[in-house]
Structures are given as structure tokens and as C-alpha cells.
A and B are shown apart, each in its own frame.
Chain A
Amino acid sequence: MMKTRRTGAVVLTYLCLVSGAICCLIPLLWLVRSSLMSTEDMFKLPLIFFPKKIRFQNYAEVFTMVPFAKFYANTIFVVTFNIFGALISNLMIAYGLTRIEFKGRKLMFSLSIGTLMLPAYVQLIPLFIEWNWFGKINTFFPLIVPAFFGNAFFIFMLCQFLRTIPRDFDEAAFMDGANYPLIIAKIILPLAKPAMAVVAIFQFMFTWNDFMGPLLFLNDREKFTLAIGIRTFISTYYTPWGVLMAAATLTILPLIVLFFSAQKFFISGLTLGGIKG
């Protein structure tokens, strides 16, 4: 009796997982399928599931219709610096907030969390005026510099993470004569490496996905990033859907490649609860 119940549960588990997986994948497969079709074929009924005439030309047109290669380079440039900034600043801040007792840290933590609740889109206008005072409109500075000042999401996440590392580790290091930077570098960083990978990947995604920032701060199309670059395909009167889907596929491709190659870091980063206090 126990056995059949087990089997039933297992079958149900697989059923749920497989149907979930299908739901996750189909939209993406549909995207790729559409990217290989002419716009005319996409609007035919009954729907053509697999294009008979595969149209790779869409992918070529992505680069000829708009400076898509430039969008790529710009995005990578911005993303790289954002990751760099996020890694340094957030670990420092999170360590300071969780593992050093000093007056005001609780307040700073709450303030930081408070920024999560800010309606980010409205801050953009005052931010725009501010960056204008710095004379840095139409440069990548407004998109890069803020990453070096910490991000409430990451701080919150790293704080949650650091709280699971017992304080005894720090104390033991102090016994051996270490100081804070040394502790961060030698003890926390190795333990937090997977969490840092998460920060890096999330930052990668935030920046890659950012839509309003580039839209507001960048004027020249030569400086556009992919997120707003894609929009230049969407026209009011006639959208080349096949090409748009090809551009979309090309936009998500690096994300997927990166994810597959860095998956181990990413998953293990969140799994690191292995140290028990």
C-alpha cells in the first residue's frame, strides 16, 4: 500500500514538473520559430507551426536595419562595469551592516531597504536633472556609476546570506589578529563567492534588461543598448515581426549562454547554507 502511494506521488511529481517545463519553454520556442519566418507567414491561418521556408535572412536584417552590433557592444560595456561595481560595493556594505555592531547601522539598513520601495521611474526625472548638472547626459556614466554605490536588492540579499554565517568565524579570525578588510577578503569572500556570483548574474540581468535608464540618458542611437534598441524595430504602422523576433532572440542569447556556463556558481550560491552554527 505504501508502495503504490509512493508511485502515485512520483508520477504526479513528474507530471507537474514536465507540464511546468513545457509552459516555460513554449513561449521561447515560439519566439525562435517566429524569428525564422517571414512576417507574411506569421500572419497566416491556420497557424504554421514549423516554417517551411526557413528565413535566416531575418537575422541578417537585424544588423542592417539598425546598428545592432553597436547596441551589443554598448550593452556589454555598460554591463561589465555594473557587475564590477556591484561586486565591490555590495559586499562591503552588507558586511558593515550585518557583522559590525555600531550605532546607526540599523537605521542605515532600514534606509537602504526603504529605497526598494521607491517608485524608481519617478526618480528618473530628478536624476536626469542631476546628471545634467554633472554634464554627463548622453554618456554611459549615469548607467554605470550608481552601481558602485550599492543596490538595496543585493544588500538585502547579502545581509540575509551573511546572517547565516556564524559570527564565530569572524571572532576566530580576530583572535588570530585579522582586521575587517582581511576578514572580508579572506573569510567572508570565499564563503560568499557563490552569493557574489548571484550578485554578478543579477546585476548582469538588471543592466541587460534596463529600459528606462538608457531611454532617458542616452540620446544617440549609436549609444543605445539592446533593450531600447529592440524598440526601434517596433513601428506604429508596420512592424517587421520576423526581424523583431530575430532581434529578440539575439538579445536573449547571451543571457542564456551565460546562464548555462555560470549555472553552477549561481545555484550553489543560494544553496550555501551548509555551514551550521
Chain B
Amino acid sequence: MKSKFLVIACILFLISAGLCFANGQKATASDQVNLKYIYWGSPAEDAAVKQALSEFEAANPTIKVEPMYLPGDLDGSTYNAKMKALAVSNTLPDVGYFRPEEFGNYAENGYFLKLDDLIARDGMDDSYLPQTWLKIQGNTYGAYSAAECQVMWYNKKVLEDAGVPIPPTDYRNAWSWDEFVTNLKKITVDSKGNHPGDPGFNAKDITRFGVSYDLWSAMYYPSVWSNGGDIIGSDGKTVYVDKPEAIEAFQNLSDLMNVHHVMPLVTGGTSVSPMTMLANGQLGFYVTGQWTLLELGTMKSFDYGVAALPIMKKPAQLYVSGVNVVFNSTKHPEEAWALQKWMMDPSKTLDLYTSGLWMPTKMSYYTDAEDLAKWLDNDVHPEGFKEAVVDSMAVAVNEPIMIKNINQIWGDYLNSAVESIWIGEKTAKEALTEAAGKIRKSGLLQGTY
């Protein structure tokens, strides 16, 4: 009897607790504008964005911004699914991040505010990096939220231990691929102290690896470009992935894992964090997105550095980022645009840049020494960041998001082909020739937006 009473009491308590919180709706003043800002990111990015938004609120007392955070993942499918759900239900937010691979599709269907007039009115055209503005049929519908690219971090102590020289930071005079591999072999060591190539080396028992590459589509481009190749032509109709340059680039990456044994084999899940391996001294180099500096900067426990990306044939760099858009359905286009401008302006949201999350899209932060110092001169950005990363943006090429169906071409054909290369099941030539044939037949090559 007693226990029964307890159960009932508990249920009543739960219901009332639930009701209390469900009724916690707030009334809003009539002259106040409410905006919803949608975004993804790690918990650290979440905090950084929230901070920027609340500063915007403080500067614009009549505008309230409701942060709308969605969990992100590698290929953005969760975010995309959510966005689609919002679009179908006409409950899109006002402004915020948008997944680049879906940008063209939504822009073509009129979901975004056309920005050209606003940009011209506010004189923003020339003061931002030209790649920043994303145009569909001559009209601007969005802007990259930041300039982001591929970088190579390293653990200084690991390099010292292995007797590897500190790599160059000038992106034009970086290590050649062969130099890179030679040094990686010096770093990689098994539990008995043998290196790859030594007689007793046991590839199944490696305690320290030379390098880890983030293995996802956008991160392959710089390697392929560096080798003079491409994946799908910018016309959206020509497949280049089975040309010798592209094949060689992929084979080089695969050899890191399967021939030289200097890179851990990582497929599928996100379980091994190369960042942690790097911090623990189990990894020499980590090739990843520059935004990981946000997390790296919080790890005070080890000394990290940045190196220029190794060059296969020529220096290459990728310009990749989430897209910032104002949704056409917003009732407050002016205020939404003001918020987007705020998020793009390093003078307003400097923390997002000094913390390492973003690199500015505004020109003066690359050309003007004073502005450069504002975001680079701190503990987070390691020495040489300017030469290795910032300057390399001069050769950066946009991620080819304007190619129709590019997301599905990767998802249905290229990712699995590339994966079969990584696990050593097929050579790059076999896998990519096969995939290219399928892509050509698939009907997905429909040009560009």
C-alpha cells in the first residue's frame, strides 16, 4: 500500500513539474523584433556563437535573437533533414548557417533573400574576399560565414623526440610529398621501438603514428588539386576523378595507411579523436580543418605548431565554410541582414576569430597589418599561422558546391569508392575508374546552379 502511494505521488510530481515548465512562455513587447538564428557546431562553437548573438542584442536593444542550435554531423545530413523539415512546415528561422551542399538547391527554389541591393547599399562588395559571396545566376543569395581551409597541426614534442626538423611554414615552399613521407616514417613507431621499414616492424602494434588526415569529401580536394587533378569539372558535367592526377593523389593518401603504415586507418564512425591523439603525443601531424583551432586552443597541455600543407605538385588550398543566409520568409529582412552583417564583421565579433574558430572574410583583415594583428596576435594562433594558412588563401579555390547533385555523387559513388581504397581493398585506379564510369551513367551530372 505504501509503495502504491509513493508511485502515485511521484507521477503527480512529474506531471506538475512538466506542466510548470511547459507553461513557461514569455510575452513579448510589441515594438520588439524577434529573430531566430540557426547554426550548428561543437559545444565550444555553440558557446562562441551565443556570445556573439548576445553582444548583437546588447548593441541593438530592440532586437531579440533566439539562438536555434541544431546538432551537426560530418556530412550534414541531420542538419539538412532538419532544415528541410523547417522549410516544408514554413517555420524557417530568419537568418543563420546553411549547409553549403544544399545551398544551390534552396537558392534556386527561392528560399533565400537576394542580397545584392543590400550589399551594394552598405558598400560591402569590395571590402570582402571575392570568394565570399555566393551567386546563383548572377544574384547573390548568401555568403560564406567565414574563410575556412585545410591546415596541418603538429605536436612539437613528438617531432623533437623523433628527430624530425620543424617543417616549413611558407605554403609555397612546403615539404614535398616524399619528404613528408620520409619524416612520417621517422615519427611512426611500434611498441618495440621499430619504425616502418625496419625489419621487426609490426604494423598491427603501432603506438605513435606520423599523421592523420580527416577523411571526408571536402578534405580530399586540396590533395587532388595539389597534384594537378580535379574531381568533377566546374561545368558540373565532366568527371576528372579517373584521370591519372586524381588517382595518384588518392593513392598517395592510401599509401600512408596501407604501404607506409604512418597513418591510422579510420573509417566510418567518429570514435578516435585524432585531436586527442595529437595532444597525447600519439600522433605527429594532423591534417584537418582550420576551425579545429578552437578546440586546440583550449588544450594548454601541449605545444602545437602549424605547418604548410605538403605539396604534391603545386601548392593548393580549399575555401570551405558554412553559408550564411537570410531566409526569404523572414518578416524582418532589415534586422536579419543587420545580424548577418554583424556575424561577418570581425570588428563586432572578434572573439570568433581570435579563438581560432573562423578566419575573417573581410579583406582588410588580410591586407592591413593592424587588422591582421587583431585576430592573429594571441596565444591560440601558433607561430607561422600567417604564412602557412592565411597567405595560402591566395591560392584557395571554393569547394565546388555549385555543381548540381555533388552531394549525392559523393554519397552514392565517391565515398564508397574512396573508402575501398582506404581499407586497401582496391587500388585508387580500380576504384576510381569504376566509380567514374558509374557517375557518368548515373544521370547525376546535370551541370551547375
Contacts and interface: CB of A to CB of B under 8 A. Distances in A.
A138 interface: yes
A237 B295 contact: yes
Interface string B324-345: 0000000000000000000000
Contacts of B44: 238
Interface stretch (B124-132, B225-233, B284-292, B391-399): B284-292
B91 interface: yes
Contact of A221 (B68, B207, B275, B282): B68
Contacts of B59: none
B91 A219 contact: yes
Nearest to A220: B68
A235 B42 contact: yes
B17 A66 contact: no
Interface in A173-212: none
A183 to B, nearest CB: 23
Q: With a 10 A CB-CB cut-off, give which of B72, B91, B273 has the most chain A CB atoms.
A: B273
A213 B11 CA distance: 23
Contacts of A231: 71, 78
Given A234-B73, A235-B42, A219 B273 contact: no
B279 A40 contact: yes
Interface string B301-326: 10000000000000000000000000
Contacts of A239: 270, 273
A137 interface: yes
Given A129-B88, A234-B73, A219 B68 contact: yes
B21 interface: yes
B91 A137 contact: yes
Interface string B1-37: 0000000000100110111011000000000000000
A238 B73 CA distance: 11
A238 B71 contact: no
Nearest to A66: B43
A65 B15 CA distance: 27
A232 B69 contact: yes
Given A128-B89, A235-B43, A241-B273, A219 B17 contact: no
Contact of B276 (A40, A73, A221): A40
B280 A140 contact: no
Given A236-B270, A239-B270, A40 B68 contact: no
Interface residues of B, number: 47
B14 A76 contact: yes
Contacts, number: 105
Contacts of A129: 88-89
B273 A77 contact: no
B66 to A, nearest CB: 8
A263 interface: no
A39 B43 contact: no
B289 A237 contact: yes
A76 B19 CA distance: 11
B85 interface: yes
A144 to B, nearest CB: 10
A217 to B, nearest CB: 8
B82 interface: yes
A57 interface: no
B74 interface: yes
A219 B11 CA distance: 27
Interface in B66-96: 66, 68-74, 78, 81-82, 85-86, 88-91
Given A73-B21, A77-B21, A236-B73, A216 B280 contact: no
Contacts of A77: 14, 17-19, 21-22
Nearest to A67: B69
A260 interface: no
A100 to B, nearest CB: 30
Nearest to A138: B91
Q: With a 10 A CB-CB cut-off, give which of A215, A221, A234, A235 has the most chain B CB atoms.
A: A235
Contacts of B411: none
Nearest to B89: A132
B41 interface: yes
A219 B82 contact: yes
Given A43-B282, A80-B11, A238 B42 contact: yes
A44 B18 contact: no
Contacts of B292: 237-238
B54 to A, nearest CB: 15
A240 interface: yes
Closest 4 A/B residue pairs (Cβ): A77-B18, A235-B42, A132-B89, A238-B295
Given A77-B21, A128-B85, 19 more contacts: A39-B273, A40-B280, A40-B301, A43-B273, A77-B19, A80-B14, A128-B88, A129-B89, A137-B85, A215-B82, A219-B68, A221-B69, A231-B71, A233-B43, A236-B42, A236-B72, A237-B214, A237-B292, A238-B276
17 contacts: A44-B280, A66-B46, A70-B21, A73-B21, A74-B21, A76-B14, A81-B18, A129-B89, A132-B90, A216-B81, A221-B68, A232-B46, A234-B270, A235-B41, A235-B42, A235-B43, A238-B292
Interface of A: 39-40, 42-45, 65-66, 70, 73-74, 76-77, 80-81, 128-129, 132, 137-138, 140, 215-216, 219-221, 228, 231-241
